[in-house]
Amino acid sequence: MTNEEIFRKAIKAANQNGYPMLEESLNWKFFRSNPHRQEAIIRGLIFDHVFARALWGNKKIEFSGCEWCGYYDGPYKYICWEYHLQKMVLEKDPLKYIDDFLKKKEG
């Protein structure tokens, strides 16, 4: 799946949760015309708090410790969109993180 396809899929998922931007409102010819511009547009949207809230939602989740090392200092409470935004910002390929999330969500 290309970055554009993942990006379109993410926009569609966020729209279903109330994000106000319609996929059709983007000028896709302009978007495709320059890879650097494309990267800037993608990052500008996927790291936006309003977009993240629509994509992942406001549900509260709780973790009991680090999934990698087992360190525990009490349960952590997160709001889904904040948790995923924090995880995604550390990813080398944030669109792949979104794609993996959307695939899991689809079942």
- pLDDT value of residue 50: 94
CA-to-CA separations, 64 to 58, 73, 74, 80, in angstroms, rounded: 19, 8, 6, 15
Per-residue pLDDT reduced to its tens digit, 87-104: 999 999 999 999 999 998
Domain definitions of the chain by residue range: 3-106
Per-residue pLDDT reduced to its tens digit, 28-73: 788 888 888 888 889 999 999 999 999 999 888 877 666 666 666 6
Distance CA 24, CA 106 (A): 23
Q: Is 106 left (phi over 0), alpha (psi -120 to 50) or beta?
A: alpha
State how far Cα 73 lies from the chain centre. Answer: 28
Q: Answer for the pair 95, 3: CB distance below 8 angstroms, yes or no.
A: yes
